[in-house]
Amino acid sequence: MTVLALGPALALGAAATFLPVRRARWIGFCVCVAGLFAAPWLAAALPSVSFPLIALSALRLLAPEISLPIGRVTLAALVGAGCLFYALALGLGPYDPYTLGFQARPLVAALAGVGMILVVTGERAALILLSGTLLAYAAGVYANLWDALIDPVLVLLAAVVLATRVWPAARRQKTK
């Protein structure tokens, strides 16, 4: 079993910890363990789970009281980049960016710039996730850098967090 086979099980376990019941964390662990036995089927449903999603899922299972301070600009950039990437990858544009992930030197150079922006803006959590993603890619865990960076579930979760937590909080602060 590869490391990537653990990703869908971790993601499902982390999702179960959001259930509004007592002992949701234990339910999440049980779902995660059950997911390990169903790893081949889960990998068929979620073939490529990105490193940030795996890391955030593991953090949610192991320490649900920790909330990563990822800013709304970073979340919005993730959602925008994900929507653009998947639209182009589905053939809605003249170029498929997925092929760039196999020979990733230009993409890594661009991500170095993104990393510098994260350093300047103080987005430490996003910088740690980006660094871990690049390390996982360099270690050969992922064949394509895009697979390591984003996946549809991560983009969807970022959009949900923006819509339900970040934007309403920003609106409440403006009305005060």
Residue range 71-126, pLDDT digits in tens: 888 889 999 999 999 999 888 988 888 888 998 899 999 999 999 999 999 999 99
Give the residue with greater pLDDT, 32 vs 149.
149
Q: DSSP per residue over 30-73, as a string?
A: HHHHHHHHTHHHHHHHS----HHHHHHHHHHHH-TT------HH
Q: What secondary structure letter does DSSP report for 162?
A: I
Q: Is 137 exposed, middle or buried (0-12, 13-18, 19+ CB in 10 A)?
A: buried
* Secondary structure tally for the chain: helices H, strands E: 10, 0
Is 6 domain-assigned?
A: no
Is 157 domain-assigned?
A: yes
Q: Could you tell me which residues come within 8 angstroms of residue 129 by beta carbon, excluding any fewer than 6 positions away?
A: 51, 52, 55, 56
The CA distance from 85 to 176, in Å, is 37
Lowest mean pLDDT among 54-58, 104-108, 166-170: 166-170
| pTM for this model (two decimals) | 0.83
Token duo for residue 48: 């490529």
Is 34 domain-assigned?
A: no
Is 38 domain-assigned?
A: no
Could you list the residue range(s) of the whole structural domain that residue 142 is in? 69-175
Is 44 domain-assigned?
A: no
Instruction: Using the predicted structure, report yes or no on whether residue 35 has a pLDDT greater than 70.
Output: yes
Is 96 domain-assigned?
A: yes
Phi, psi of 23 (to 5 degrees): 60, 35
Q: What secondary structure letter does DSSP report for 142?
A: -
Is 91 domain-assigned?
A: yes
Cβ atoms within 10 A of the Cβ of 59, count?
A: 16
The CA distance from 10 to 2, in Å, is 13
∠ CA(125), CA(1), CA(107), 5° rounding? 40
Is 9 domain-assigned?
A: no
If one counts the domains in the chain, the total is 1
